[in-house]
Amino acid sequence: MKIDKTCFRCQSHTESIFHALWKCSLVKDIWTLCGFIHFIDQHWEYDIIGFLWRMHSLLSPKEFQFFIIVSWQVWAARNNHFHKNSCPSPVRVVDDAIKWLDDFISVTDSKPKNRTNRSADTRWKPRDRGKFLINVDAATNIGSGARGLGVIIRNSVGEVSCARAIHWPFPISVEAAESLAIKWGIITALETGLTGFTVASDCASIVTALNNGNRNYGKCGVILDENFNLFSFPSFEGLLFMPRDANRAAHNIARFAALSNKSHTWLGEIPLCASSVVLTEKQFT
């Protein structure tokens, strides 16, 4: 019996593991969203083992973890297409990979003996009844250099009122991106008509500069001035530093914006990329 080795998805190349995972035209959008497409195009001539070793040497440990998880999601999407004729969108594949990576990091970055005695100071905590907490963060697409900003607003019982992913394609410093995330957190709250809200960021230097009235910090003076103007709104009640472990939901949304190259707003629903974090943190409210 003659076996057709043509890729059933693109119908133009011989199917191989390398082709199915990284070179098929139907997966290129996924790797573009992740920021890895340039690495793949430059180093694809290696055999699979050599290619993986090359990617391991080029990427940071967490970037390589993300690359492997996306590859696994691409293979799962390929199998769903073949067996169930179901083909998830590139954004959904990347979004699912972000969720899996977050779950993986949450397990491997914590020692089992400390998980049940986790310090309350590093756990997300809501504000008082009737108040809102806005977590904000910034992330970077390592391939394009674009920034992503994440905003998530929750009430006193941990319910999501609004979340926002903002793609920022212009090159700016890390501090400027973090300051910009604070700005968009306040703007989002004002646009949704919230009263009594506090903003939380895990960038200690920017939080300190803003709380000390420092208008000349780094290369983000203009954005700092814009934040100072927003602070004058009576519904704004303060800016807090929050450790990264308590700011993971905003970070996941920022990472989604950076990788997907798209902006998106969720009203009254939990973004998939942050769902596991939000639902876990809600248990502690």
Residue where the block lists tokens 């809102």: 132
Sheet holding 236-241, edge to edge: 236-241, 197-201, 132-140, 147-154, 160-168, 264-267
Rounded mean pLDDT, 67-94: 87
Cα atoms found within 13 Å of the Cα of residue 30, Cβ hemisphere only: 30
Nearest to 262 by CA among 185, 168, 138, 181: 168
**Least reliable range by pLDDT among 87-91, 125-129, 167-171:** 87-91
Let me know: does 150 contact 252? Beta carbons within 8 Å.
yes
Q: What angle do CA 152, 92, 125 make, to 5 degrees?
A: 25
Q: Given this model, what pLDDT does residue 213 score? A: 87
Looking at the DSSP assignment, which residues form a beta bridge with residue 151? 136, 164
Kindly tell me if the per-residue pLDDT of 111 is higher than 50: no
With bands split at pLDDT 50, 70 and 90, how would you rate the model's confidence at 44? confident
Let me know: does 163 contact 271? Beta carbons within 8 Å.
yes
Query: How far is CA 255 from each of CA 29, 151, 215, 251, rounded to the nearest angstrom?
Result: 17, 11, 28, 6
Task: Round to whole Å and give the CA distance between 152 and 130.
Answer: 17
Rounded mean pLDDT, 47-68: 82
Kindly tell me if the per-residue pLDDT of 62 is higher than 80: no
Let me know: does 166 contact 151? Beta carbons within 8 Å.
yes
With bands split at pLDDT 50, 70 and 90, how would you rate the model's confidence at 119? very low
Q: Given this model, what pLDDT does residue 145 score? A: 76
Looking at the DSSP assignment, which residues form a beta bridge with residue 197? 132, 236
pLDDT digits (tens, 9 = 90+) for 158-172: 999 999 999 988 878
Is the whole-model pTM more than 0.75?
A: no
With bands split at pLDDT 50, 70 and 90, how would you rate the model's confidence at 91? confident
Looking at the DSSP assignment, which residues form a beta bridge with residue 158? none
